[in-house]
C-alpha cells in the first residue's frame, strides 16, 4: 500500500514509522526543515519539504498513485484543503484527516473525508462505555453507522 502523509509532526512521524514498519511505501510532505531532517534521520521514508496544500508538492509525492492520503497537521483548514486536493485533483478515494476542533468533524464527513478527532473519540468512549453481557461497545465509526465492539469469550 502507498501512503502519503501531510504533516511530519509528532502524529505524522508516528504514522510514518508505523506504516514503514508494516512494510508500506510512505511519503511525508512537511514544510518545516527541522521536522524533515528528523524524519530523514528516524526513518527511510521519502520526505518532501513543502506545503501539502500546493499541488506541485502533491505531484512530487506522486499522490495520484496513493492508496490513502492522510493529513495530520495541527491546522484543520490545511488538513481539509490537502485532503480535498488529493480527492479532486488526484482522484484519491480514501482520505483521512486529523481534526483538531471537534465541531469541524461534520464538515469533513460531509466532504467524504474520514475525520479523526481524539477529543471526539475520548468523549465517545466515555459516553458509550457499557457492557451488555459479554459484548463491550468500544467506539462508533463512519458517523455512527459502524460500531467497534469487543466480545469476551470465556
Q: What pLDDT does 96 receive?
A: 97
Q: What is the pTM of this model?
A: 0.81
Best CATH choice for the domain 2-116 from the list 3.50.50.60, 3.40.50.720, 1.20.1250.20, 1.10.1510.10:
3.40.50.720
Read off the pLDDT of each residue in 23-45 and give the average, rounded to a whole number.
97
Domain ranges of the chain: 2-116, 118-154
Confidence check: pLDDT of 126 > 60: no
Instruction: Give Cβ neighbours of residue 133 (< 8 Å, ≥ 6 apart).
Output: none
* C-alpha cell read off for 36: 524533515
Phi, psi of 137 (to 5 degrees): -80, 120
The pLDDT value given to residue 148: 72
Q: In this structure, what DSSP letter does residue 134 have?
A: T
- CA–CA separation, 100 vs 15, rounded Å? 17
The mean of the pLDDT values for the chain is 89
Q: Classify 152 as helix, strand or coil.
A: coil
Amino acid at each position: 500500500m502507498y501512503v502519503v502523509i501531510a504533516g511530519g509532526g509528532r502524529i505524522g512521524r508516528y504514522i510514518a514509522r508505523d506504516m514503514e514498519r508494516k512494510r508500506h511505501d510512505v511519503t511525508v510532505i512537511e514544510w518545516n526543515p527541522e521536522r524533515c531532517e528528523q524524519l530523514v534521520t528516524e526513518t527511510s521514508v521519502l520526505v518532501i519539504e513543502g506545503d501539502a496544500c500546493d499541488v506541485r508538492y502533491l505531484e512530487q509525492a506522486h499522490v495520484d498513485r496513493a492508496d490513502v492520503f492522510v493529513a495530520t497537521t495541527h491546522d484543520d483548514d490545511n488538513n481539509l484543503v490537502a485532503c480535498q486536493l488529493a480527492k479532486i485533483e488526484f482522484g484519491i478515494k480514501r482520505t483521512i484527516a486529523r481534526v483538531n476542533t471537534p465541531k469541524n468533524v461534520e464538515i469533513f464527513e460531509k466532504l467524504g473525508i474520514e475525520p479523526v478527532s481524539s477529543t471526539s473519540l475520548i468523549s465517545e468512549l466515555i459516553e458509550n462505555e457499557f457492557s451488555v453481557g459479554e459484548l463491550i461497545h468500544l467506539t462508533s465509526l463512519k458517523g455512527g453507522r459502524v460500531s467497534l465492539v469487543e466480545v469476551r469469550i470465556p
